[in-house]
Amino acid sequence: NIIKNLAENNVDGVNIDFENMYKSDKNNYSRFIIELAPRIHEIGMILCVDVTEPDGSDTWSLCYDRNTLANVSDYLVYIGYEQHNASSKTAGSVAGYDWDEINIKKFLGQEEVKKEKLIMAMPFYTRLWCEKDGKLTSKVVNMKDVTIPTNATKTFDEKTKQNYIEYKQNGATYKMWIEDVDSTSNKLELINNYDLAGCGFWEYGRENKEVWNVIKEKMKID
């Protein structure tokens, strides 16, 4: 069905993104990609496979054989976000520069993924954290919808290389590590510093239009 749809739609290739799998299915998933890859290549198309950061939980991180997947596919796409998510016990960045760099080093080192095979995907969204009465909640905010209240304190976080805001409202403390042109530019520099294959984003339509100018500049796209 995958091959049939690719041929009928005359596209460039396919991106395979399976998440939250059982660790026990790790080898089965590798076998699926191993058998799919030559069929994709026979029709002259590209195969890329999405994976999460190494060394996490069984169903989020340890369910992938990253080395095998990288060897048989054209590109391995590192899902470089969800560092802190809805289930996190502490507020933090969705995708901090320092976190991404640690994971890139793991891909290139312990996972032995070739740099020319690795694409880093980054978020076009962030989270607004709310701390009130000892409880922590958060909500997703698209890059294009980020607003900074007049009473917010804005600083630059050197670790995450993001603009950070904090403010109080109705008895609650709000925090946000902002995804914007600055954070995107810094992550693109990270890709260039490690000479990776390229960049990806989640997801189109959530971004500020201005961010594409930075992407074109940093990635040297005409």
Q: What is the pLDDT along the chain (222 residues), one digit of tens a residue?
A: 999 999 999 899 999 999 999 999 999 999 999 999 999 999 999 999 999 999 999 999 999 999 999 999 999 999 999 999 999 999 999 999 999 999 999 999 999 999 999 999 999 999 999 999 999 999 999 999 999 999 999 999 999 999 999 999 999 999 999 999 999 999 999 999 999 999 999 999 999 999 999 999 999 987
Please state whether beta strands 118-123 and 75-79 pair in parallel, antiparallel, or not at all (unpaired): parallel
The H or E element that residue 71 is part of is: helix 66-72
Q: Measured between alpha carbons, how far apart are the two ends of the chain, in Å?
A: 35
pTM confidence score: 0.95
Q: At what angle do helices 181-193 and 97-108 cross, to 10 degrees?
A: 20
- SS3 category, 154: strand
Is residue 80 within 8 Å of residue 93, measured between CB atoms?
no
